[in-house]
Every structure is written in C-alpha cells, then in structure tokens.
Amino acid sequence: MSAQTEQKPVLWQIDISHYSEKVRWALEYKGVDHARRSPLPGTHIPIALFLTRGAQPTLPVLQVDGRTIGDSTEIIAALESIHPEPPLYPVDAEERARAIELEDWFDENLGPHARLLSFYELIQEPEIFAEVAAESVPGPLGKAKPVVGAYARAFTSIRFGANSDEAAQRAREAIVAAFDKLEAELERGKGEFLVGESLSVADVTAASLFYPVVVPPEGPLDPTLPRPPAMERFRQSLSDRRGFKWVEETFRRHRHR
Ligand SMILES: N[C@@H](CCC(=O)N[C@@H](CS)C(=O)NCC(=O)O)C(=O)O
C-alpha cells in the first residue's frame, strides 16, 4: 500500500445504514476520495468504541487527517472545515443555523424510527430478513443465510427492541410526523431545498434518513432484494405525499455516485 493510499480518509460504515448513507453522500458530494470498511453489523459496536476510544458506540466513524470522528453530524462538521467546497453549510449565518437545526431534528426524530420499523417488518418475514442480512455481511458469511438471518433477528430485537409491536406503531407515527415536518419546512422555502438555494446538510440528512421508507432507486438498498409486504404497504400509503416525492427527487437530482 502506498503512503498516499494510507493517507486517504477511512469511513467505517454499514452499507444499508441510513446514517452511513448521510456521510457517504457528504463525502461523494464533496468529491473526497476515501476508503470504506464495513464490519459485520453487531461487531461494529465494539469496533466503533475501540476506534473512538470509548466515545461512540455507533457507526459511521471517519478517520481523517489523524483524527477519528464518530457521529454523522460531527463528521459533516469536520468535512466542512477540511473540504469546504462545495459547501453543505449555507453561508448565511441564519440559514446555516436553521440547516443544522433541521439536521439535528431529523437525526433525532426520524432516524431511529425509520430503522426500527424497517427491522420490525423484517423480523416478521424471517426469509426476507435472511436474504437482506446475507447481503450486509462480509464475504463467505453471506452464504449461511439461515444463521445470518437468525443472528439479525436476535441482534435487532435485543439492541433496538425491534420486535415490539408498540415500538413499531410509535415508529409509524413518528415517520408520518417527520413527513409533516418536512412538508412544513418545504413550504417555507422555494421547493427544491429545505434551506437556501442549494443543497445543504438539511437536505442530505432528511433524504438519507427517509431512504429506508421511500426506497429511492439511487439509495443503498439493492432493488432486486425482496421487501416485507407490510413495509411496502406502508410505503405505498405515503407515496402521494409531497415529502415522499421530494425525497425521491432529491436522490434523483443530487445523489451522484
Ligand atoms: N447519532 C449517530 C447515530 C448513528 C447510528 O445510530 N448508527 C447505527 C447504525 S444505523 C449504529 O451504529 N448503532 C449501534 C448502536 O446503536 O449500538 C450518528 O448520527 O452517526
């Protein structure tokens, strides 16, 4: 490995994670050449803790310029100062504050619910979960689908409580509320962007965190993989909403790989 390759930023991530998608989008939008490491989901918690010296149990984590940064919000803040162009923070101070506030809002109020409902519906469909999980594990492990599927059901139930009917219902309500919020915020702007007149961290965050519900073709989910019918029905029930179409459009226009 050349010295130049070693200096590339390294993104520790999970392929299907929407928080990882947020950071991948920021890195690719800014044209930051980087390497990716995708540990086995589940083992990523001790790995994240090890990388961040106990500060962060989650991925994504970015190693850049001799620093190790956990949390997607902190990662994008660091990228803004290391690679300011093109910016994801609006120049205007008020707009910048609003974009960061919206980033936070969707991180806290949408992200965990979109993840929980996806896992809940997958747990109801063990064969489909086995297919999807097998795609997300490294190398030959993916061949042991029933084992990987059982592991995925156990891990998501224990870690996120994703087997709870009540939590799933709360997640559905929170996702609908997040569409209400998205549409109210879009009303304030000119339509294409949440804040200002170009793509900002607010758009990247909202679109990425809605991806497990909207499933845009440019998103991380392999479109040939089966999806739980109940999740698909929920998706369809939202598909006429302005916010849903905005997520599709934002991916289509701005998610260039
Ligand atoms: N606030 C964090 C959330 C990241 C997050 O929840 N990542 C998940 C994967 S989608 C994770 O690593 N979860 C492990 C855990 O919660 O223990 C961020 O914005 O990066």
Q: What is the pLDDT of residue 2?
A: 47
Nearest CA to ligand 1 atom 11: 58
CA of 56 to the centre of ligand 1 (A): 9
pLDDT band at 6 (very low <50, low <70, confident <90, very high): low
The closest residue, in CA terms, to atom 20 on ligand 1 is: 71
pLDDT value at 30 more than 80: yes
CA of 187 to the centre of ligand 1 (A): 30
Mean residue pLDDT across the chain: 94
What is the CA(19)–ligand 1 centre distance, in A? Answer: 7
The model carries a pTM of 0.95
- Percentage above 70 pLDDT, the chain: 98
Residue spans per domain, the chain: 7-82, 93-254
Domain 7-82: which CATH number of 3.40.50.1170, 3.40.50.150, 3.40.30.10, 3.40.190.10: 3.40.30.10
Distance CA(205)–CA(23), nearest Å, equals: 9
Give 3's pLDDT tier (boundaries 50, 70, 90): very low
pLDDT (tens digit per residue) in 46-57: 999 999 999 999
Among 11, 17, 19, name the best residue to mutate to test ligand 1's pocket (greatest count of ligand atoms within 8 A of Cβ). 19
* Contact yes or no for 238/176 (Cβ under 8 A): yes
Q: Please, which pLDDT band fits residue 41 given cuts at 50, 70 and 90?
A: confident
- Ligand 1 centre distance from Cα of residue 190 (Å): 32
> For the ranges 29-38, 112-121, 158-167, 221-230, which has the lowest average pLDDT?
221-230
pLDDT at 191 over 70: yes
User: Which amino acids bring their CB within 6 angstroms of ligand 1?
Assistant: 14, 17, 19, 44-45, 57-60, 71-73, 107, 115, 159
pLDDT of 121-130, one tens digit each?
Answer: 999 999 999 9
| pLDDT tens digits for range 136-168 | 887 788 888 999 999 999 999 999 999 999 999
Confidence of residue 190 (pLDDT cuts 50, 70, 90): confident
Ligand 1 centre distance from Cα of residue 58 (Å)? 4
The domain over range 93-254 is classified in CATH as 1.20.1050.10: yes
Which DSSP string do the residues of the chain spell out, in sequence order? Answer: --HHHHTS-EEE--TT-HHHHHHHHHHHHTT---EEE-PPTTTHHHHHHHHTTTS--SS-EEEETTEEEESHHHHHHHHHHHS-SS-SS-SSHHHHHHHHHHHHHHHHHTHHHHHHHHHHHHHT-HHHHHHHHHHHS-GGGGG-HHHHHHHHHHHHHHHH-TT-HHHHHHHHHHHHHHHHHHHHHHHHS-SS-SSTTS--HHHHHHHHHHHHHH--TTSSS-TTS---HHHHHHHHHHTTSHHHHHHHHHHHHH---
